[in-house]
Amino acid sequence: METLRERQDIPQEYQWSLEAMFASDEHWQNAFDELNATMQDDPFADIRGHLHEGAKVVFDYFEKTVLLEKQLGLLAIYAHTKNDQDTRVTTYQAMMSRVQALEAEYGEKVSFFEPELLTVSDDVLQSYMQDPLLKEYKKVIDNIVRNKPHVLSGEAEALLATFEDVFSGSQQVFGQLTNADFVHGSFTIDDTEYLVTEGRFGLLLRNLDRRIRQAGYERLYDTYLNHKNAIASLYATSVKKDVRMSRARKFETARERALFANNIPVSVYDALIAGMRSNIAHVHRYVQLRKDRLGLDKVKLFDKYVPLVEAKMDEYSYEEGFALVERGLAALGEDYAQILQTARKERWLDVFENPGKRSGAYSTGFYATRPYVLLNFQGNYESVSTLAHELGHSVHTYLSGKTQPPQYSGYSIFLAEIASTVNETLLVNHLLDVTDDPLKRATLINQQLDSLTATIYRQTMFAEFELDAHRKVEEGHALTHDVLSEMYAGLNQFYHGPAYEDDDRSPAEWSRIPHFYRAFYVFQYATGMSAALVFADRMRKQGSVAVDKYLGFLSSGSKDYPLEVLKEAGLNMEDPSVVGQALKIYGDLVTELETLLPHIG
């Protein structure tokens, strides 16, 4: 049986450079103690109660928060990246908990600001916003004023702030269960033993032998089903928290509250679902094509990811994969290429799986750190595409951090997935550009369709599921495992069409999705992919003009609300034609694959 390398056996060049934040855990502890002491001294004592005295007091508040949030950010990112590289180490679990408690205390300390600022008259607030001192904070103040109907009294805000770490409890417990406590074991077929982990599950589902796919699927899902009631309770608690917080803040629905922060109208969410449903025939055609190609009576959940055709081009060393990403992204220009080289030189990436390492992949960091990328690189094209995806996030973070002041150096989730999926799209477009071989071309199209299906259709299905779950709680209904699974099964059948059929385990797929603990998050993968396809198409057709606009987008951070940032880059997400263009590209790919496959043995 194949075993994982222990972390100490993986060369340093493949591990992220967390020492760039703190040279050691002891240095982290010293920084924590220093910030904790500052917090105990009440850093806002000379500001609280004085906001009506002039723009200078407000400016002093903002400058102090920038400093404290920088310190908090460094502590938090170090703790969670250390934890994620081996979730079994209780030291880093404790560090994360301590930072979360300190973040909650910080939230309590600053909770006075919005309620107090909103007691200042509108005329005085407008004069503050015209003061040169607050020029760089104008949007921050504007957003606070926009939020006025949803801000509670100072006492109520302080009370809610003390519960911040408790509110994330369901997500934390789910993460510990699935990353640290769950053991899926192994199975043996034809004298070969297969280890089942979250990191290797994707490889098992891509195996051409259906027995292996099914056995790995059943082994992993049985672990979740053995804890079905606990997981259902965790998710139900998370949804109830969302609903009650939305009511406390005077929003009509939890969805409205979730989208409000980025000034996204619920109509964008509804338009996405409507657009997908009206174009569902494209994905139904693809599932039917999968059924026919694999010779199945019905496509099952464990059949969705196996390649329909596979040229000998699907294995890459990490070095080969990185070089391929560089070639694929060459259209973005020399400056972008230099940033990719910096990522390797400065060791932004943690590349290989090790025991206890968090599954999946992500990019984290902010203006005061390097971007950091967690990978579980497996050597296939999916891993290379994931590398391109996460580097998209990282370069977005890097450019916005260099270009914007600290308060605007971050960016909303609504924008985040665009940068990553543009990279995925450019990578596959590059490969399609350099091959006319029918087998290789079919392989690439198959892979791209799988990616688009997972990112556009699947994430929209997830968006419908969590919308339905929150509506049920808002209407007074209970969420049990059976209720959630029945809801999910209905969506599964609609989105996959008549060639698909659920089994006893597949309706429980919802229980594996960590993003559901961050309410109304996943729809942005679908809107992001739609925008990315349009951006990539424009760059191919318009060249440097479109590239410059796109790089301007990457450097914009949160200097304006997300829809406005995109409009400045030439993309109007309120126009339904954006989703329509993306789905047309998807449909055209299905058509080409339908044409190619009959000629490939």
Task: Return phi, psi of residue 501, to 5°.
Answer: -150, 130
Q: Which two tokens stand for residue 582?
A: 């993306």
Neighbours of 280 (CB within 10 A): 17
Q: Kindly give the residue spans of alpha helices, DSSP state H, lying in 521-576.
A: 523-542, 544-554, 562-568
Burial class (CB in 10 A: 0-12, 13-18, 19+), 261: middle
**Whole-number Å distance between alpha carbons of 95 and 93:** 5
Buried b (16+ CB within 10 A) or exposed e, 41-57: eebbeebbeebeeebeb
Neighbours of 438 (CB within 10 A): 15
| Active-site residue, from 157, 390, 417, 466 | 390
Three-state SS for 373? strand
Instruction: For the chain, state the CA radius of gyration.
Output: 24
Compute CA distances 145 → 119, 121, 129, 142, 262, whole Å.
11, 11, 11, 5, 14
Closest CA to 233 of 524, 570, 478, 548: 478
Compute CA distances 170 → 231, 239, 443, 507, 553, whole Å.
9, 10, 40, 21, 35
Q: Which residue has the tokens 């290797």?
A: 200
Burial class (CB in 10 A: 0-12, 13-18, 19+), 411: buried
Q: Which two tokens stand for residue 454?
A: 């997972």
Query: Could you tell me which residues come within 8 angstroms of residue 362 by beta carbon, excluding any fewer than 6 positions away?
Result: 373, 374, 390, 393
Q: Which two tokens stand for residue 99?
A: 């930072």
Active site residue 315: no
Closest CA to 409 of 556, 568, 262, 260: 556
Closest CA to 419 of 535, 568, 583: 535
Q: Which two tokens stand for residue 560?
A: 């304006």
One-letter identity of residue 296: L
Q: Which residue has the tokens 């109830």?
A: 240
Residues marked active site are found at 390
